[in-house]
C-alpha cells in the first residue's frame, strides 16, 4: 500500500495571509507599547497610586491634659462622649439615612443636613466619617444602636469630651473647649474637623500645653475600607497635666462666703504672686458648653447678672476708699509729714461746691494714720489737691493701675487712672481738668477704675518690698516681677501699719476681719455707683443697681502663712458691712475658724516684718521732686 | 484502513497550536487562582471560580477532541441550518429571554443558560466561510453585499438586545474574513472612503441609537471626566494594577491591587490586570507574545488548509480570537471604551471556554485534513 500526499491545489489569497500576519504584528506592537508605557514609563507613578490606595492614615486622639488644683484635685478631665457620623461610601441613600437619623435622635432634619453638608465640604475621602450630631445622649445612643443595621453608613464615634468636675466653681478660671472654628483651623493647622480647642480661660491660654500631639495609625485597607494591617506610625502624646496654684476648698469657701451676691474674691500669696483663689459670682457651669447645649448658652448670654463675665479681671470698678492706700503712699513720697493734720468737719468747700466726708459731722483732726484708719475723705481731698492730678496719675500708673497685670487669662481689662489726657479723650466737650475732679480721684471715685486682681497685686506689693507680681495660676510657674511700685520700705511700713490699725483700732473700718491668732491688716472701700445727692440713702433703701460697690482689701499673717485677700461685692452697699464678713469667712478657711473678735497682741517688730524690713533700717524718704521723676520712669518702664 | 488514516492524521495536526493553547490555558488557570484570592483580616480566602474553570477546561478539551475527530467539511452542510436556528433563537430572546444587566441575553434551557448571541457568532462565521469559499476570486459588489447582508441580520438582532460588544465582534469577524478573501479594486476604494467617513456615521447614526449606559461608556472614554464615579474607579484601578506591576511584577498571589480587591471583575473581564500587576512588564510581554504565536498558528492552518472552506473557517476563528484579545486587553489597558468582552482562557466562564476549545477543534480538524489521501 502506498499513500500519496497531494494538495488539492488550493492557494490561499496571498494578500489575505499578509493581512493576517500584519494584524498579529500590529496587535503585538500595540499592546507591548502600551504595556511599556504603563509599566515602565509610568510604573513609579502607578506604584505610588497603588500604595496610597491601600495605606490609609488614621489619627489617634491624644488625651487633653488634666487640670488639677494645688492639692491634686482634678478640675478638668476627659470623659467619653458619643457622636454620630456617616460614612458616605457605605451609605446607599444619604438623604433617607439623614432623615432616619433625625427621626431616631429627635434632632431636626435641617440641623443634621447642615452638619453633613458642612463636613462634606471639607472631606474628600468617601470613607471618612462625617459628623452628623457632635454629641448625643445615652438614650439617643441606645436608639441609634438598635437601629444601626437599618442605617448602613451610620457609625457611632466615641471620643473624649472635656468634663469639669467642679462646674461653676472654676468656670471662669478654666474656661472651656469647643469645636474648632475656621479661625482656629488657620491658627492650628494640626487640628482636624470636629476637634475641640480651648476657647476661654486657661483652656485657651494653655492650649499648646494641654492639647498634646495626635498619634497616627497606618492601616492597610481593602477596597471596601476594611482594615487589614495596622501599623502605628507614631503614638499619641497626651497633653501636659497642669497643676494650678488655686485651692479648690478655699475657692469653694470663698464662693460660699459671697452667697447670692455678685462679686469676686481674690486670694494671693504676696511673696510670689501665686493665686490661691479666684472667685467670681454669679458663675455658670462650663460643662454646658462642652455638651453643646445651645439653649442653655443663650440663657447665660441673656442673664442680666452676666454670669459669663469674669469679674476679677474683666470688670472695672471705682476703688472707693481703698484708693486711699496708694494716695497715702504718694503723699509720703512727695514729702507730706505723717503727723501733719487736717481738720475734718464733715465737708469741705471748693468754690461753691461742697465735698462731703462719708462721716456726717466729720472726723475732727486727722493725721495720715487716722485718715487711713477712719477713712477720712476730707483729709484726702485737701492733701491730694496739694499733690495735683499729674502726680496722682504718675504715681498710680507706676503702682500698676491702668495696666494689665498679665494674668494667664484672656480678655483682661486694664482699668484706668484719671488724668488730663484721659479727661481729654473721655470728655472732648469739656477737656480741661478741674480741681473738683482731683477731689473725686483722691477717694477713688470719678474716672478711677480698677480690677480686683490689680488691687490684689497692689496690696501684695505693700507686703513684699514693692514687687508688682504677675498673678500666677499655674503651680510650676516661677514668680514674675512685672514692675516695682514707686514706694520705699518706710512708706510701705507706714501703710501696712495703718492697715493693721484699721483692723485693730476702735473706729477702724476693717474691724470685721480682726483675729486673735493672726496679724491682720485691711482697708475698706465703698464705691459710689451713682452721683451722691445731698441725702445719703442707706443701701437697703436704694435700688440694687444704684447701690454702692463694697470693697475690702486685706492681708493676714499667721505663722508662715501670708495672704492678701481682695473682696469686691457689686452693689453690696458698705465695704465694711458687706465685704467684711466675706473676707472674714475667707480667713476662717485660711487660718481656721478661731475668732474671738480681739486683736492678737503682737510685737511691733512683727508688723514691720510684714512690710519686708527690719526696724531701724527705715531710711529717710527721698525728696519729693526726685520721687515723682522716679515714679514717672517706673510708670514708663511698666507701660512697655 | 480508515482507522489507520485517522491515526496518521493525528501527526498532521497543528501541534504548535495545541502547545500554545495549553500554555495559555495553564497560565490562565494560575492567574485565575490568584484572582480568586481575597485577603481578609485573618488571611487569604478563595472564591471557587478557579475550580469551576478547571472543570470547564476539562469539558473544553473534550469538545476540542470531538472537534478534531469531526470532519470540518460536514460543517458546510450544517452552516445554513445553524445560522437559521441562531436567528430564530435571537428572535425568541425578547419573548422568553432572561434579563441580565438590563439586557435580554439569555435563554434558560434548564441545564444551561443559552446565549443566542454566541451561537449567532459561530453561525455567521461558518455560513460566512461557506459563502466566501464559494468565490474563487476577490469579492465584487454583489457578493460583498450578499455576505454583509447575511451578517447584518443577527447583528441587528444582537444590537437590539442590547449587546453592542457582541454585535460589533460579529461584524468585525465577518469583516476580517471578507478582507482576507479580498475585494475588487473599486470596492477597496469605496471601502477606504467608507472607513474615513465612519466616524461621522458612528456619531450620526449609531451613537444616537445606543442605550444611555452604552453612550456613557463611549462618552467616558472620549472624556474621562464624564464617567461615573464607579466606572472611573474600575478603569483607574485596573490601570494602577498594571502600572504598579512595573518591570518584574509583585509576584504571583502577591498583588495588593488584586487581593485587596481594588480590581473589580478581576476573575472575568479584568483578569489581565491581575496578571499585569503580579507578573510585570516581563510577564505581560511574554503573554502577549504567546497570544501572538497562538494567533500565528491559526493563521498557519489557514494557509495550509487544502480547501477554501477550511481556510476561511480558520480565518474566522483567527478573527474570533484576535478581536477578543485586542478589545479585552485594550480595554483593561485603557486604550478602548469599556466593552464587556472576556479574554480567552483567562476570564472565568464556561460557555466561552467550551466555544473556544470547540473552535480550536475545528482549526485542528482542518490542519489534520490538509492532505489528500490517495490509495494506490
CATH number at residue A631: 3.40.710.10
Q: Within a domain: residue B101?
A: yes
| Model pLDDT, residue B373 | 56
Is the same domain home to B242 and B113? no
Please determine, for residue B186, whether its predicted confidence score (pLDDT) is greater than 60: yes
| Model pLDDT, residue A614 | 37
- Say if the Cβ atoms of A4 and B242 lie within 8 Å: no
Instruction: List CB contacts (< 8 A) between B375 and chain A.
Output: 1, 3
**C-alpha distances in angstroms, B308 versus A16, A20, A54, B75?**
12, 16, 55, 13
Q: Within a domain: residue A326?
A: yes
Complex ipTM = 0.91
pLDDT digits (tens, 9 = 90+) for B321-353: 999 999 999 999 988 887 778 899 999 888 889
pLDDT band at A256 (very low <50, low <70, confident <90, very high): very high
Is the same domain home to A221 and A361? no
- Say if the Cβ atoms of B240 and A50 lie within 8 Å: yes
Q: Within a domain: residue A42?
A: no
Query: How many residues comprise chain B?
Result: 376
Facing residues of A554 across strands?
Answer: A522, A565
Mutate to test the interface with A, among B5, B244, B308, B373 (most CBs of A within 10 A): B244
Is the same domain home to B79 and B186? yes
Is the same domain home to A216 and A317? no
Please tell me the total count of domains within chain A.
2
Is the same domain home to A335 and A357? yes
Q: With left for phi above 0 and alpha for psi between -120 and 50, is residue A320 left, alpha or beta?
A: left
Highest mean pLDDT pick, A95-99, A284-288, A533-537, B80-84: B80-84
| Model pLDDT, residue A14 | 87
Nearest to A24 among B241, B299, B371 (CB): B299
Is the same domain home to B228 and B373? yes
The mean pLDDT of chain B is 85
- Say if the Cβ atoms of B376 and A27 lie within 8 Å: no
What does residue A342 show for φ and ψ, rounded to 5 degrees? -130, 145
pLDDT band at A543 (very low <50, low <70, confident <90, very high): low
Sign (positive/negative) of CA torsion B134, B137, B141, B142?
A: negative
Q: Which helix (H) or strand (E) holds A87?
A: strand A74-87
Residue where a domain terminates, one of A210, A227, A243: A243
Is the same domain home to B134 and B55? no
Measure the CA–CA gap between A129 and A125, rounded to whole angstroms: 9
Q: Within a domain: residue B183?
A: yes
Q: Which helix (H) or strand (E) holds A582?
A: helix A580-591
Is the same domain home to A144 and A239? yes
Residue where a domain terminates, one of A243, A263, A283: A243
What CATH number is attached to the domain comprising A183?
Answer: 3.90.1310.10
Measure the CA–CA gap between A267 and A387, rounded to whole angstroms: 32
C-alpha cell at A70: 494645688
Is the same domain home to B155 and B300? no
Is the same domain home to B143 and B26? no
- Say if the Cβ atoms of A43 and B243 lie within 8 Å: yes
Q: Within a domain: residue B218?
A: no
Is the same domain home to B242 and B341? yes
Please tell me the total count of domains within chain B.
2
Instruction: Please give the full DSSP string across A156-216, using - where no structure is assigned.
Output: EEEEEEEEETTGGGSHHHH-EEEE--HHHHHH-TT--TT-EEEEEHHHHHTHHHHH-B-EE
Q: Within a domain: residue B55?
A: yes
Is the same domain home to B369 and B228? yes
| Model pLDDT, residue B372 | 61
Using CA coordinates, name the residue in chain A closest to B304: A12
- Say if the Cβ atoms of B239 and A27 lie within 8 Å: no
Given the C-alpha cell 434558560, which residue does it identify?
A: B108
Q: Within a domain: residue B217?
A: no
Is the same domain home to A182 and A300? no
Is the same domain home to A508 and A368? yes
Using CA coordinates, name the residue in chain B closest to A34: B333
Please determine, for residue B107, whether its predicted confidence score (pLDDT) is greater than 80: no
Measure the CA–CA gap between A176 and A200, rounded to whole angstroms: 5
Mutate to test the interface with B, among A46, A89, A126, A219 (most CBs of B within 10 A): A46
Beta strands A67-68 and A242-243: pairing type?
A: parallel
| Model pLDDT, residue A628 | 47
| Model pLDDT, residue A277 | 94
pLDDT band at A534 (very low <50, low <70, confident <90, very high): very low
> What would the mean pLDDT of B130-158 be, rounded to a whole number?
89
> What would the mean pLDDT of B47-66 be, rounded to a whole number?
90
DSSP state of B140: -
- For A220-234, A253-267, A404-418, B94-108, which range has the lowest pLDDT when averaged over its residues? B94-108
- Say if the Cβ atoms of B299 and A31 lie within 8 Å: no
Is the same domain home to B197 and B267? no
Q: Within a domain: residue A385?
A: yes
Domain residue limits at A66? 58-243
Distance in Å from the first CA to the final CA of chain B: 13
| Model pLDDT, residue B291 | 96
- Say if the Cβ atoms of A39 and B246 lie within 8 Å: yes
| Model pLDDT, residue A4 | 44
Is the same domain home to A521 and A376? yes
- For A448-452, B28-32, B114-118, B357-361, which range has the lowest pLDDT when averaged over its residues? B114-118
Please name the residues between 203 and 222 in chain A that touch chain B, using a CB distance below 8 Å.
220-222
Pure H helices in A388-530: 389-398, 420-426, 435-442, 452-463, 489-504
Residue where a domain terminates, one of B189, B210, B231: B210
The mean pLDDT of chain A is 83
Measure the CA–CA gap between A506 and A305, rounded to whole angstroms: 37
Is the same domain home to A177 and A301? no
Asked if A223 reaches chain B (Cβ–Cβ under 8 Å), the answer is yes
| Model pLDDT, residue B5 | 52
| Model pLDDT, residue A143 | 85
Facing residues of B107 across strands?
Answer: B114
Is the same domain home to A190 and A306? no
Please determine, for residue B86, whether its predicted confidence score (pLDDT) is greater than 60: yes
- For residue A204, the tally of other CB atoms under 10 A from its CB is 20
Burial degree of A232 (CB within 10 A; 0-12, 13-18, 19+)? exposed
Is the same domain home to A349 and A220? no
Q: Within a domain: residue B34?
A: yes
Structural contact between residues B270 and B276, judged by C-beta atoms closer than 8 angstroms = no
**Looking at per-residue confidence, does A55 or B374 come out higher?**
A55
> What would the mean pLDDT of A462-468 be, rounded to a whole number?
92
Domain residue limits at B133? 73-210
Measure the CA–CA gap between A232 and B268, rounded to whole angstroms: 37
Residue where a domain terminates, one of B210, B233, B260: B210
Asked if A23 reaches chain B (Cβ–Cβ under 8 Å), the answer is yes
Burial degree of A477 (CB within 10 A; 0-12, 13-18, 19+)? middle
- Say if the Cβ atoms of A39 and B335 lie within 8 Å: no
| Model pLDDT, residue A63 | 86
Q: Within a domain: residue A201?
A: yes
Closest listed residue to residue A129, CA positions, set A206, A53, A193: A193
| Model pLDDT, residue A620 | 37
3-state secondary structure of A617: coil
Asked if A89 reaches chain B (Cβ–Cβ under 8 Å), the answer is no
Asked if A14 reaches chain B (Cβ–Cβ under 8 Å), the answer is no
> What would the mean pLDDT of A618-637 be, rounded to a whole number?
47
Q: Within a domain: residue A8?
A: no
- Say if the Cβ atoms of B243 and A39 lie within 8 Å: yes
| Model pLDDT, residue B4 | 46
Nearest to B239 among A12, A31, A46 (CB): A46
Measure the CA–CA gap between A613 and B22, rounded to whole angstroms: 108
Closest Cα in chain B, distance from residue A44 (Å)? 7
pLDDT digits (tens, 9 = 90+) for A605-624: 444 444 444 333 333 343 34
- Say if the Cβ atoms of B242 and A2 lie within 8 Å: no
Q: Within a domain: residue A9?
A: no
Please name the residues between 265 and 294 in chain B that touch chain A, using a CB distance below 8 Å.
276, 280-281, 284-285, 288-289, 291-292
| Model pLDDT, residue A640 | 42
pLDDT digits (tens, 9 = 90+) for A3-42: 444 445 678 888 899 999 999 999 999 999 999 999 999 9
Residue where a domain terminates, one of A243, A272, A291: A243
Is the same domain home to A210 and A136? yes
pLDDT digits (tens, 9 = 90+) for A128-178: 778 888 778 888 888 888 887 778 788 887 777 889 999 889 999 999 988
Asked if A637 reaches chain B (Cβ–Cβ under 8 Å), the answer is no
Q: Which helix (H) or strand (E) holds B113?
A: strand B113-114
Is the same domain home to A197 and A266? no
Q: Within a domain: residue B11?
A: no
Is the same domain home to B185 and B314? no
Is the same domain home to B265 and B339? yes
Q: Within a domain: residue A21?
A: no
pLDDT band at B110 (very low <50, low <70, confident <90, very high): low
Closest listed residue to residue A400, CA positions, set A482, A339, A335: A482
**Looking at per-residue confidence, does A572 or B220 come out higher?**
A572
pLDDT band at B225 (very low <50, low <70, confident <90, very high): low
Compute the radius of gyration of chain A from its Cα atoms: 37
Measure the CA–CA gap between A2 and A552, rounded to whole angstroms: 138
Q: Within a domain: residue A396?
A: yes
Closest listed residue to residue A495, CA positions, set A442, A555, A449: A555
Nearest to A47 among B176, B246, B261 (CB): B246
Mutate to test the interface with A, among B20, B172, B232, B243 (most CBs of A within 10 A): B243
pLDDT band at A43 (very low <50, low <70, confident <90, very high): very high
Pure H helices in chain B: 2-12, 15-35, 49-69, 75-96, 116-133, 141-160, 164-181, 185-201, 212-222, 229-244, 256-259, 271-304, 308-332, 350-368
Is the same domain home to B244 and B310? yes
Q: What proportion of chain A, given as a percentage, has pLDDT over 70?
A: 86
| Model pLDDT, residue A450 | 94
Closest listed residue to residue A21, CA positions, set B3, B325, B318: B318
Maximum alpha-carbon separation in chain B: 73
C-alpha cell at A206: 494653655
Q: Within a domain: residue B5?
A: no
Structural contact between residues A475 and A70, judged by C-beta atoms closer than 8 angstroms = yes
Mutate to test the interface with B, among A39, A48, A92 (most CBs of B within 10 A): A39
Asked if A28 reaches chain B (Cβ–Cβ under 8 Å), the answer is yes
pLDDT band at A508 (very low <50, low <70, confident <90, very high): confident
Closest listed residue to residue B176, CA positions, set A350, A623, A405, A13: A13
| Model pLDDT, residue A530 | 62
Distance of alpha carbon A514 from its chain centroid, rounded? 32
pLDDT digits (tens, 9 = 90+) for A78-130: 888 788 888 887 777 888 888 888 888 888 888 888 888 888 887 766 767 78
Amino acid at each position: 500500500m502506498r499513500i500519496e500526499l497531494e494538495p488539492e491545489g488550493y492557494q490561499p489569497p496571498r494578500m489575505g495571509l499578509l493581512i493576517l500576519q500584519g494584524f498579529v504584528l500590529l496587535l503585538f506592537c500595540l499592546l507591548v507599547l502600551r504595556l511599556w508605557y504603563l509599566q515602565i514609563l509610568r510604573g513609579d507613578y502607578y506604584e505610588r497610586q497603588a500604595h496610597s490606595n491601600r495605606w490609609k492614615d488614621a489619627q489617634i486622639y491624644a488625651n487633653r491634659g488634666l487640670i488639677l488644683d494645688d492639692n491634686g484635685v482634678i478640675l478638668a478631665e476627659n470623659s467619653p462622649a458619643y457622636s454620630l457620623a456617616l460614612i458616605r461610601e457605605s451609605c446607599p441613600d444619604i438623604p433617607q439615612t439623614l432623615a432616619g437619623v433625625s427621626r431616631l435622635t429627635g434632632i431636626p432634619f435641617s440641623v443634621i443636613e447642615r452638619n453633613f453638608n458642612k463636613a462634606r465640604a471639607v472631606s474628600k475621602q468617601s470613607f471618612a466619617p462625617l459628623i452628623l450630631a457632635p454629641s448625643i445622649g445615652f438614650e439617643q445612643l441606645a436608639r441609634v444602636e438598635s437601629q444601626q443595621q437599618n442605617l448602613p453608613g451610620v457609625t457611632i464615634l466615641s471620643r473624649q469630651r472635656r468634663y469639669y468636675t467642679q462646674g461653676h466653681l472654676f468656670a471662669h478660671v478654666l474656661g472651656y473647649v469647643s469645636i474648632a472654628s475656621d479661625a482656629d483651623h488657620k491658627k492650628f493647622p494640626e487640628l482636624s474637623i470636629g476637634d475641640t480647642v480651648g476657647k476661654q480661660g486657661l483652656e485657651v491660654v494653655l492650649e499648646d500645653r494641654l492639647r498634646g500631639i495626635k498619634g497616627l495609625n497606618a492601616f492597610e485597607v481593602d477596597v471596601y475600607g476594611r482594615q487589614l494591617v495596622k501599623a502605628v506610625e507614631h503614638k499619641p502624646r497626651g497633653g501636659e497635666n497642669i497643676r494650678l496654684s488655686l485651692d479648690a476648698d478655699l475657692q469653694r469657701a470663698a464662693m460660699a462666703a459671697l452667697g447670692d451676691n455678685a462679686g469676686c474674691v481674690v486670694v494671693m500669696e504676696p511673696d510670689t504672686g501665686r493665686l490661691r483663689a479666684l472667685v467670681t459670682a454669679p458663675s455658670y457651669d462650663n460643662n454646658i458648653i462642652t455638651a453643646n447645649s445651645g439653649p442653655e448658652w443663650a440663657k447665660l448670654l441673656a442673664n442680666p447678672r452676666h454670669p459669663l463675665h469674669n469679674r476679677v479681671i474683666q470688670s472695672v470698678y471705682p476703688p472707693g476708699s481703698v484708693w486711699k492706700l496708694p494716695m497715702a503712699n504718694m503723699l509720703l513720697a512727695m514729702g507730706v509729714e505723717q503727723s501733719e493734720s487736717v481738720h475734718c468737719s464733715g465737708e469741705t468747700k471748693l468754690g461753691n461746691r461742697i465735698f462731703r466726708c462719708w462721716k456726717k459731722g466729720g472726723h475732727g483732726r486727722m493725721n495720715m494714720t487716722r485718715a487711713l484708719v477712719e477713712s477720712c475723705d476730707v483729709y484726702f481731698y485737701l492733701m491730694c489737691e496739694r499733690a495735683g492730678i499729674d502726680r496722682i496719675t504718675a504715681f498710680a500708673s507706676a503702682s500698676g493701675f491702668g495696666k494689665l497685670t498679665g494674668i494667664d487669662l484672656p480678655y483682661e481689662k486694664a482699668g484706668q487712672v484719671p488724668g488730663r489726657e484721659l479727661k481729654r479723650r473721655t470728655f472732648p466737650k469739656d477737656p480741661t481738668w478741674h480741681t473738683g475732679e482731683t477731689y473725686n480721684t483722691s477717694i477713688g471715685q470719678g474716672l478711677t477704675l480698677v480690677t480686683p486682681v490689680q488691687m490684689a497685686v497692689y496690696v501684695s506689693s505693700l507686703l513684699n518690698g514693692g514687687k508688682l507680681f504677675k498673678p500666677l495660676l499655674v503651680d510650676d510657674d516661677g514668680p514674675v516681677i512685672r514692675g516695682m511700685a514707686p514706694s520705699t520700705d518706710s512708706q510701705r511700713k507706714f501703710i501696712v501699719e495703718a492697715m493693721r490699725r484699721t483692723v485693730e483700732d476702735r473706729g477702724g473700718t476693717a474691724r470685721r476681719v480682726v483675729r486673735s491668732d493672726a496679724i491682720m491688716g485691711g482697708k475698706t472701700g465703698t464705691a459710689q455707683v451713682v452721683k451722691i445727692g445731698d441725702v445719703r440713702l442707706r443701701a437697703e433703701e436704694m435700688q440694687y443697681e444704684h447701690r454702692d460697690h463694697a470693697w475690702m482689701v486685706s492681708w493676714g499673717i499667721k505663722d508662715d502663712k501670708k495672704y492678701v485677700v481682695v473682696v469686691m461685692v457689686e452693689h453690696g452697699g458698705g465695704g465694711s458691712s458687706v465685704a467684711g464678713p466675706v473676707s472674714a469667712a475667707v480667713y476662717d478657711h485660711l487660718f481656721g475658724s478661731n475668732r474671738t473678735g480681739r486683736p492678737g497682741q503682737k510685737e511691733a517688730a512683727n508688723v514691720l516684718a510684714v512690710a519686708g524690713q527690719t526696724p531701724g533700717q527705715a531710711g529717710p524718704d527721698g525728696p519729693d521732686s526726685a520721687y515723682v521723676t522716679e515714679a514717672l520712669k517706673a510708670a514708663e518702664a511698666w507701660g512697655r | 484502513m480508515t482507522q489507520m488514516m485517522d491515526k496518521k492524521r493525528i501527526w498532521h495536526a497543528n501541534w504548535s497550536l495545541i502547545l500554545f493553547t495549553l500554555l495559555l490555558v495553564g497560565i490562565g488557570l494560575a492567574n485565575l487562582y490568584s484572582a480568586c484570592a481575597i485577603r481578609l483580616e485573618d488571611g487569604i480566602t478563595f472564591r471557587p471560580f478557579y475550580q469551576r474553570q478547571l472543570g470547564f477546561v476539562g469539558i473544553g478539551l473534550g469538545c476540542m477532541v470531538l472537534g478534531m475527530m469531526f470532519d470540518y467539511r460536514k460543517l458546510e452542510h450544517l452552516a445554513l441550518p445553524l445560522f437559521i436556528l441562531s436567528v430564530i433563537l435571537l428572535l425568541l430572546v425578547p419573548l422568553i429571554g432572561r434579563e441580565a444587566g438590563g439586557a435580554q441575553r439569555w435563554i434558560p434551557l434548564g441545564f444551561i443558560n443559552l446565549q443566542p448571541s454566541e451561537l449567532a457568532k459561530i453561525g455567521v462565521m461558518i455560513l460566512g466561510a461557506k459563502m466566501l469559499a464559494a468565490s474563487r476570486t476577490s469579492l465584487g459588489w454583489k457578493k460583498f453585499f450578499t455576505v454583509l447582508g447575511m451578517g447584518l441580520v443577527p447583528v441587528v438582532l444582537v444590537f437590539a438586545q442590547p449587546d453592542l460588544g457582541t454585535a460589533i465582534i460579529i461584524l468585525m469577524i465577518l469583516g476580517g474574513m471578507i478582507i482576507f478573501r479580498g475585494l475588487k479594486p473599486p470596492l477597496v476604494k469605496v471601502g477606504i472612503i467608507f472607513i474615513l467617513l465612519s466616524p461621522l456615521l458612528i456619531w450620526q447614526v449609531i451613537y444616537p441609537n445606543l442605550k444611555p449606559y452604552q453612550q456613557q461608556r463611549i462618552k467616558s472614554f472620549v472624556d474621562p471626566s464624564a464617567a461615573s464615579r464607579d466606572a472611573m474607579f474600575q478603569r483607574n484601578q485596573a490601570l494602577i494594577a498594571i502600572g504598579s506591576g512595573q518591570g518584574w511584577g509583585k509576584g504571583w498571589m502577591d498583588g495588593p491591587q488584586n487581593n485587596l480587591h481594588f480590581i473589580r471583575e478581576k476573575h472575568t473581564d479584568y483578569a489581565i490586570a491581575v496578571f499585569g500587576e503580579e507578573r510585570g512588564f516581563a510577564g505581560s510581554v511574554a503573554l502577549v507574545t504567546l497570544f501572538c504565536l497562538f494567533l500565528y498558528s491559526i493563521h498557519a492552518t489557514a494557509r495550509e488548509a487544502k480547501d477554501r472552506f477550511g481556510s476561511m473557517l480558520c480565518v474566522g476563528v483567527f478573527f474570533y480570537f484576535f478581536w477578543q484579545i485586542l478589545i479585552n486587553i485594550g480595554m483593561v489597558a485603557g486604550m478602548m471604551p469599556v466593552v464587556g468582552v472576556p479574554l480567552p482562557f483567562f476570564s472565568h466562564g464556561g460557555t466561552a471556554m467550551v466555544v473556544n476549545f470547540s473552535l480550536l477543534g475545528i482549526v485542528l480538524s482542518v490542519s489534520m485534513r490538509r492532505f489528500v489521501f490517495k490509495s494506490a
